[in-house]
Amino acid sequence: MSGLKQRYGSGIREASTYLGQNYLVVDSSIIADVLRIFEDEYDFDYCVDITAVHYPKREKQFDVIWILYSFEHNQRVRVKTMIADGDTVPSAVSIWPAANWLEREVYDMFGIRFEGHPDLKRILLPDDWKGHPLRKDYGIIQQDQDWVKANLGIESAQ
């Protein structure tokens, strides 16, 4: 951790432990390098999960979170970065192939684009669905009326 902090200084916003779990908040500009370093130098060879959280009131609306694990050290770390709506995040597929579907899911649910992803498209929802359901401004009973009408032939799927 300290090595990273020295190298990037202010790029590492926060590095701390909560409830026994390490996490790291990183500026979005250096996230690609940080992830690469975690894989190369700290042996975090297993990308457990990639996800996002939406904070509509913040200026930088999204937290993107990488949960990494190292088999060698038996340790987990969460790497977090904040981005604004419409910003892109570098894709981690070249580092961990596991990131492929995970990034697709984040894109599907939040509309965050990952740059350099080989095939960024929706994964759980239909390809031509409108809206990203896990954003906070997407209501819980909201649906893509046009899609439902066109594909299911009914007024509402609720």
Complex with other proteins: residue 4 or 102, whichever CB lies closer: 102
Residue 140 CB, nearest approach to other proteins (Å): 5
Angle at 152 between CA 150 and CA 157, to 5 degrees: 110
In the complex, minimum distance from the CB of residue 110 to other proteins, in angstroms, rounded to a whole number: 11
Pick the closer one to other proteins by CB: 3 or 41: 41
Residue 64 C-beta: closest distance to other proteins, Å: 12
Question: Cα 100–105–107 angle (5° rounding)?
Answer: 95
Q: Which is nearer to other proteins, 30 or 53 (by Cβ)?
A: 53
Complex with other proteins: residue 88 or 143, whichever CB lies closer? 143
Angle at 130 between CA 135 and CA 115, to 5 degrees: 70
**Which residue ranges make up the site for other proteins (CB under 8 A)?**
18-19, 21, 23, 45-49, 51, 53-54, 65, 67, 71, 74, 76, 78, 96-98, 100-102, 109, 118-119, 122-127, 133-134, 136, 138, 140, 150-151, 153
DSSP state letter for 51? E
In sequence order, the β-bridge partners of residue 66 are: 50, 79
φ and ψ at residue 125, rounded to 5 degrees: -90, 160
Chain centroid to Cα 145, Å, comes to 27
